Homo-oligomer: A and B are copies of this chain.
Amino acid sequence: MTNSQIDDLTNTIASECIAVRLRIVNRVVSKIYDDAFRPLGAKISQMNILVAVGKMGIARPADVCQVLHLDVSTLSRNVERMKARGWLEVIPDEDGRAQPFRLTSAGKKLIEQAAPAWKKAQKQSQELLGVAISGQLNQAVKRIDELT
């Protein structure tokens, strides 16, 4: 391949690649939420897990991972930190392999305290991305869940 052909290919990838742009938007939006939650000592990654667990009540790692499409090893480390901060607690289970956990009262309190920051970040993200994006993301996740 000639140098000019490689240039063409490079420009095509740079300008059309879905992953490049998705990752840019992800970084920018994650930063909006991280900035909003910083005074509370929490990050969007942790709030994601917190509300997923809150919704489930009693959550097994594998179930949380299925919902959030996280690797189990990733969740394991995140939960470790969140237990250390007192937001999650492991509860016993008949199955000796399982390590189900749930929100502590501190975890619930954190969600409550974080609500204004979340609303602010959510509004800011909607304004940045436009109204259509929310539905698109819903559809995308729905499709992802169907195919998994």
Name the prevailing secondary structure of the A interface residues: helix
Within 8 A of B (CB), among A108-144: 108, 111-112, 115, 118, 121-122, 125-126, 128-130, 132-134, 136-141, 143-144
Known contacts A1-B112, A10-B55, A14-B51; is A129 also within 8 Å of B125 by CB? no
Instruction: Find out whether the CB atom of B16 lies under 8 angstroms from the CB atom of A23.
Output: no
Q: Interface size on A (CB < 8 Å)?
A: 61
- Given A1-B112, A26-B22, A118-B17, decide whether A129 and B133 contact each other with a Cβ distance below 8 A: no
**Shortest distance from the beta carbon of A132 to any chain B beta carbon, whole Å:** 6
Q: Quickly give the copy total for this chain.
A: 2
B residues in contact with A147, CB < 8 Å: 128
Partner of A33, one of B3, B19, B24, B126: B19
CB distance from A88 to the nearest CB of B (A): 14
Q: Is A78 an interface residue (CB 8 A)?
A: no
List, in ascending order, chain B residues with CB within 8 A of A13's CB. Answer: 47, 51, 111, 115, 118
